[in-house]
Amino acid sequence: MALEKTFVMLKPDALQRGLYGEIISRLEAKGLKFRAAKMFRFTPQLCREHYAHHAGKPFFPKLVEFMCSAPVLALVLEGKDAVNQVRAMCGATDCGKAAPGTIRGDLGLSVQSNLIHASDSRETAEAEIARFFTKEEVTGYPRQAEKSVHSEDELK
């Protein structure tokens, strides 16, 4: 199975609460390869595009306001089954219902301010990476740890 990429974003509450290190540590310790990272501030227009599938829902205007309230940190991470693995690490959307051991379950209480976004499918990941990063910004480099994180079969 080839390695896959996923798109992750640390939301404004993660920045305000000083939780970047904690969250990034978990993703790093999992074995995921960091391919790209960028901090930026959402415009309402770009945020509405990112969350277009939620347009019209009651929470949408407040979600856009929240996401634009401070910078976010966008990441591209790579690994075996990375999309599902990172979603599992995030936990349920509502931090109050997310299982202990997950990022949201351990670090949050809110539905809206739930610290992290992660792509929900390979197709979404591709679209989200392309929305926020140029091809050149997604770095490529040999990682020494690759053969310790994955078996040879998994790297094919």
Least Cβ distance, residue 115 to ligand IDP (angstroms): 9
Per-residue x/- marks for ligand IDP, 71-110, CB under 6 A? ----------------------x-----------------
Least Cβ distance, residue 152 to ligand IDP (angstroms): 33
50 is catalytic: no
The CA-CA-CA angle for residues 147, 151, 155, to 5°, reads 80
Least Cβ distance, residue 8 to ligand IDP (angstroms): 11
Least Cβ distance, residue 145 to ligand IDP (angstroms): 29
For 51-69, give one letter per residue: b (16+ CB within 10 A) or e: beeeeeeeeeeebbebbbb
Amino acid at 99: A
Left (φ > 0), alpha (ψ -120 to 50) or beta: where does 112 sit?
Answer: alpha
Q: Is 117 in the site for ligand IDP (CB under 6 A)?
A: yes
Cα 83 off chain centre by? 9
Active-site hit among 50, 53, 54, 117: 117
The size of the interface with ligand IDP (CB under 6 A), counted in residues, is: 9
Helix or strand run (H / E) with residue 150: none
Count CA atoms closer than 13 A to 133's CA, side-chain side: 25
Q: Tell me which of 3, 46, 111, 149 binds ligand IDP, using CB under 6 A.
A: 111
Residue ranges in contact with ligand IDP by CB under 6 A:
54, 59, 63, 93, 111-112, 114, 117, 120
